[in-house]
Amino acid sequence: MDTNRPTPPSAERWSISRSIRQSISSFLRSSLHLLPPVFWCVAILSSIVLIAELADARPGGGQGYSGGGSGRSSGSGGGDSGAALWLIIRLLIWLCIEYPAIGIPLTIAVIIAAIVMGRKKRKRDGYSEWSSGGYPNQSTPSTARSQVVSSVYINAIRKIDPKFSIVLFEDFLYSLFAEVHRARGGNNLDKLSAYLSPPATQSLRQRPVAEIHSVIVGSMKITHVSGFNPTEGHIKVGVEFEANYTQKSSPTANPQGVYAREKWTLLRSHSAKSRGPTNSNVLTCPSCGAPLNVVTAGQCGHCNQKVNNGTFDWTVQSIQLINCSNRGPILTTNTEERGTTLPTIFDPQITNTSNALSSKDPEHKWDSFFARVEMIFAEFQTAWSNRDLASMRPFLSDCLFQTQSYWIDAYKQQHLRNITERTRISGIEVVKIIMDSHYDSVTIRLRATGLDYTVTDHNRMVCGSKTVLRPYSEYWTFIRGSGTSGTSKAEKSCSNCGAPLKVNMAGFCEYCQSKVTSGQFDWVLSKIEQDESYCG
């Protein structure tokens, strides 16, 4: 289940490399008797080291949004190292038969070496038995990676706007990004002039297309915040997006998948105030709430206010296209995990915020929270493998549900199914806690392992491995209403009324009609970030 990943190889390249491997294997099998046993001893011992290194780099966290994969672990596998290991086993058998004096001792040495290296790897990567040893008051902040300490920015904004919520702000950004690009299709940007400055609108007009739909934000990072000085008058926020969407260059053109990275700069007056949860992602006139169709060139025809200058709400000041390429999700390739062994990033204030959460809610217990995480994780694996997120709907925020639905639809359209089996959590660390007037959020680093492979609708495996367990880790963020308290529930029942879990696609319980996916009753999963893209 999705970044800055290198572009995965194409399916064609994967097929070619498989043919090359088969040819090399055939050649070696036919040439075994021509080479001296000493050569095979050296080759086998060297290969053991190589396979150990390959195991360290196995795909572990899900493909990036740069052309394929999901927001969770998917589309990986251990096919290359598995083939090499099988070849080594056959060589050892041959040595034991033809040269037993060499083959038998070498086989024993290989087994011992494999056991020792396996133990070292598990110890180094922290994949012991299931452990929630990451209680926040036991964590030590890591300085091994540069950090963007978002909590510092959040606290600075709150000094100007006490009601500011990073959860609601991110929901707003997700919605605005999607609406802007849908409006870019067919040159309908005028209807969003309330939120776009003239320079931002002009930069978008330089990328004309006939239609854009299925806009999915895969990654969103706040890169800088400035303007806290009262003399400046406006807060400026830099945001970098990674996204996939489908576009048609002309009305008669075929739909084309697109991967894009963009950097937006938004500004808002110090006097403007944040919205509440009920209208955080509703786009209307920022001044009076009138429909957007009465706003022309940034001027509202209802309240007669100029609204696209940040006076009343966030306005996009500039948009910079970093890169854009025409490609859709590639779901049949192996993608290397690039962050599993990186040190965990802890918020420097994690101990203080953990104590604050416990003081606010004395009934909050980390063991119960971890149990809910484990239940959601297990449910996610089943729902993902079945290409049916209905059972996961109660546990996903609206934005994350839309993102995951995009990938499920992509697999269905390509007649593929990504299957995860024998998955288990091997560790959880609490790395960041944020509390505001609307939401509490807890970010964890989740370590897990399992089988991961992709098959066609006819059950033909196209990538991954049914035998090689793959470790991976990701940063998961859970949110809960700030007024909610009590012990987290690990049962699959409505978090409000306790009835059997039956939630429609809008997130409402069909018994009590409460929106359980809002986080107002218990923790729901709102964000999944890959190791190498998470920065605090």
Confidence of residue 442 (pLDDT cuts 50, 70, 90): very high
Architecture of domain 150-326: Roll (3.10)
Q: Tens digits of per-residue pLDDT, 127-153?
A: 445 555 577 765 444 443 334 446 677
93-102, 164-173, 175-184, 309-318 — which is least confidently predicted? Answer: 93-102
Q: 416 — alpha (psi -120 to 50), left (phi > 0) or beta?
A: beta
| Pairwise CA distance, residues 479 & 516, whole Å | 12
CA 73 to chain centre: 8
- Cα dihedral sign for 491, 492, 496, 497? negative
Q: What is the pLDDT of residue 404?
A: 86
State the average pLDDT for the chain. Answer: 78
Q: What is the pLDDT of residue 9?
A: 34
Residues 409 and 77 sit within 8 Å (Cβ to Cβ): no
Greater confidence, 191 or 514?
191
* Secondary structure of residue 390 in the 3-state scheme: helix
Q: Tens digits of per-residue pLDDT, 329-338?
A: 667 666 666 6
Kindly tell me if the per-residue pLDDT of 20 is higher than 50. Answer: no
Token pair 């009934």 is found at 363
- Cα dihedral sign for 225, 227, 230, 234? negative
DSSP 8-class letter at 306: B
Q: What is the pLDDT of residue 6?
A: 34
Greater confidence, 395 or 507?
395
Kindly tell me if the per-residue pLDDT of 444 is higher than 70. Answer: yes
**pTM exceeding 0.75:** no
Q: Kindly write down the DSSP assignment for every residue of 62-115, as one continuous string.
A: ---TTTS--SSS-S---HHHHHHHHHHHHHHHHHHHH-HHHHHHHHHHHHHHHH
Kindly tell me if the per-residue pLDDT of 317 is higher than 50. Answer: yes
* Secondary structure of residue 5 in the 3-state scheme: coil
What are the domain boundaries of the chain? 150-326
SS (H, E, C) 409-448: HHHHHCCEEEEEEEEEEEEEEEEEEEECCCEEEEEEEEEE
Q: What is the pLDDT of residue 536?
A: 74
Greater confidence, 40 or 169?
169
Confidence of residue 24 (pLDDT cuts 50, 70, 90): very low
Q: Tens digits of per-residue pLDDT, 292-316?
A: 999 999 999 999 999 999 999 999 9
| 475 contact partners, CB below 8 Å, separation of at least 6 | 431, 443, 444, 445, 446, 527, 528, 529, 530, 531, 534
Q: What is the pLDDT of residue 288?
A: 94
Q: Tens digits of per-residue pLDDT, 355-410?
A: 999 999 999 999 999 999 999 999 999 999 999 988 888 898 888 888 888 888 88
Kindly tell me if the per-residue pLDDT of 225 is higher than 80. Answer: yes
Q: Tens digits of per-residue pLDDT, 28-67?
A: 455 545 555 555 555 555 554 444 433 333 222 344 444 4
Q: Tens digits of per-residue pLDDT, 252-287?
A: 999 888 889 999 999 999 999 898 888 888 899 999
Give the residue-averaged pLDDT of 160-173: 91
64-73, 446-455, 512-521 — which is least confidently predicted? Answer: 64-73
Rounded alpha-carbon distances, angstroms, from residue 179 to 127, 275, 410? 42, 18, 21
Kindly tell me if the per-residue pLDDT of 247 is higher than 70. Answer: yes
